Structure 1
């Protein structure tokens, strides 16, 4: 460390001692800082901030100078030779042959650019550090799956052991009882729902040439591809999974709230959607997680519907980031919900917090240079372990079913 930086450190320590002295004096006298002392204290704090900023700049400058000197030293250095002028002792090639190194760079003619990968900056290698993949993977998973956007209850666990969730299926009820008559027994009924951890995975491969020479955001591309693949795989089962070696979807365990009229090829009317809205009882309907879910094409039909007062049922959001509403409730879209058709369950409405999504161990994003070693490909693997189930199946979620006639 240079003498100038040492002097800056000494100055900083002196300023801090002055600031502490002001505080200590006020504390000993059991009073607040006077106006003059407060002004001095603020000036000392500003001085500390300026010293810190300057020292940081100086340290960075010295480190850059050292890095540059080291880089030029490597480029200009001559190979070490033995007494007879042969190869340098214990060369990298021999170390690699003995298994002490996984790979080596063979020397190339002068004039070629050299680049070292580091995680300090994004463009110099930070884009390959796997710790940044987790957030991007999860973000893409939520964007793809309409269920994840609708506000389900998400259970994050570190391992994948079975989780049993106790639920009530019936409540006690009281009755008018005459004088001296026996009071009827009415016990609540209980059940349990089981959540496992089914594995979803995807492999992506990239050539070493692509990884070395690409000029695009390869990290973002791989994260997007893996996230969409995992989201699409889990999203299908979160809507229509039958629970057999896979999650149980929302539609699978939801009850029918409204069935469409005859001779309309499964289509719904404005009255059908209003009836579906009120088929879900108020406690669920008033939940902040209550909303609608359908595919985009179905939403296109919904936007055309009007009530008896000639007002559109659908209202666009006027706030960025807020969803559109249908009868005052947010609308979510998911391509896995059935299209409008005979016997099709094309619209879901209710409290989506009653649907539990279990994520075991988070998202794993791993890299292997050995899997496709003979083809010089790097393999990336993304895995999630998840399950889904409507825990409250007493009517929290209901569907519109097209008439089968």
Structure 2
């Protein structure tokens, strides 16, 4: 089956599932036994198609990226500074600094940080974009919050508040208005450092011109930094070198009724723990990991109807109890003392990233193994700007 046929079929199944749900909702009844079987069959077919589509789209995106890279190499002006720096950086990855031409060394010196060749180089834009693309797959929270890219890691003072208790007042003619000073806190968004750990590449791979070594190293860096950043910005404890993650900044919480699962009633309690003013924005979501999501797909609401509804391309997003959701694997499974589910307006979350990324090539350290080591550094921090915007579900 071709991709467009699979997309059409998945969309048709999603429409049928929503129609079945709406029919039961209009009649104010639970699914019959036959309808439950139909729903289960359609959900399995929908999930199978979804997996096939994701695999096909991944292959296509890789083909398109390689084609674009090839086209760029053929058509891009060779005289641009960015192009020259990208070529110098690629040569540096393969050969090391000492083997480069004087012109390429000069290009790299222009990108140098710390102690120049010994200290590493800030990577060119194209390489950073490849790393960012790989990181995107691991960052559920990072894909829906505000991302602030800065040129350096200097602390930024930032005001925090909870405006849910503030409101105006009625006054008479010529009556003086009373003061209502907002209660602001202030915290500095820093930029703590994470490394990719050392990535070892054999010299055979480095010297093979058919291998896209830039893409290989970028993907490895993106995977490691993506997973690490996602876990830190979600559950970091703020101790030592760790940042203070979102879960540990949220002050609104509801206790789950079950120790090792999330009940439908828990979702309702969590949702209504957040002020209605925060429940209408475009970035309002439930957030949980894939294990919790699997439970929701099998769950029914108080009327016996499915809690999860599939997306219809271009018409309606997938929802849980009418709200969109985000999968973030950094959130914990339901367990004692853990926060498994978040809800709120994630536009109030600020993810600060230092745009410049440094990479070092460890030439001599693994020479006896005929391998080359690469090490990348990434700096970031996270802040919940409005304490009233997001709530969490805690298990007893």
- Judge same fold: TM > 0.5, yes or no: yes
1:384 matched to 2:378: yes
Deviation string, structure 1 residues 72-123 (Cα, Å, up to 9, x no partner): xxxxxxxxxxxxxxxxxxxxxxxxxxxxx9459xxxxxxxxxxxxxxxxxxx
Tell me the distance in 1 between the aligned counterparts of 2:185 and 2:264. 36
Q: CA deviation at 1:165?
A: 1.2
1:145 matched to 2:139: yes
TM-score by length of 1: 0.61
Q: Is the 8 A contact 1:248 1:390 kept in 2?
A: no
1:226 matched to 2:221: yes
Equivalent position to 2:161, from 159, 163, 168: 168
User: Given the superposition, is the C-alpha separation of residues 296 and 212 from structure 1 closer, same or farther in structure 2, using an over 3 Å criterion?
Assistant: same
Equivalent position to 1:396, from 385, 389, 392: 389
| Cross-structure match for 1:337 | 331
Deviation string, structure 1 residues 53-86 (Cα, Å, up to 9, x no partner): xxxxxxx9xxxxxxxxxxxxxxxxxxxxxxxxxx
Tell me the distance in 1 between the aligned counterparts of 2:148 and 2:322. 28
1:292-331 → structure 2 map (5 Å cutoff): 292-319=286-313, 324-331=318-325
| Cross-structure match for 1:362 | 356
User: Given the superposition, is the C-alpha separation of residues 182 and 272 from structure 1 closer, same or farther in structure 2, using an over 3 Å criterion?
Assistant: same
Tell me the distance in 1 between the aligned counterparts of 2:166 and 2:339. 32
Q: What SS does the aligned partner of 1:279 have?
A: coil
User: Given the superposition, is the C-alpha separation of residues 208 and 337 from structure 1 closer, same or farther in structure 2, using an over 3 Å criterion?
Assistant: same
Q: CA deviation at 1:271?
A: 2.3
Tell me the distance in 1 between the aligned counterparts of 2:166 and 2:124. 53
Equivalent position to 2:242, from 246, 256, 269: 246
Tell me the distance in 2 between the aligned counterparts of 1:219 and 1:379. 14
CA RMSD of aligned residues (A): 3.1
1:260 matched to 2:271: no
May I ask how many residue pairs the two structures share in their alignment? Answer: 276
Q: What SS does the aligned partner of 1:346 have?
A: strand
Q: CA deviation at 1:252?
A: 0.7
- More contact order relative to length (CA 8 Å, sep ≥ 6): 2
Tell me the distance in 2 between the aligned counterparts of 1:361 and 1:183. 46
User: Given the superposition, is the C-alpha separation of residues 172 and 288 from structure 1 closer, same or farther in structure 2, using an over 3 Å criterion?
Assistant: closer
Tell me the distance in 1 between the aligned counterparts of 2:252 and 2:348. 16
Q: Highest CA radius of gyration, 1 or 2?
A: 1
Tell me the distance in 1 between the aligned counterparts of 2:191 and 2:316. 32
| Cross-structure match for 1:196 | 190
Q: CA deviation at 1:242?
A: 2.0
Deviation string, structure 1 residues 260-291 (Cα, Å, up to 9, x no partner): 22xx4343321221222222122221111111
Tell me the distance in 2 between the aligned counterparts of 1:230 and 1:369. 22
Q: What SS does the aligned partner of 1:392 have?
A: coil
TM-score by length of 2: 0.62
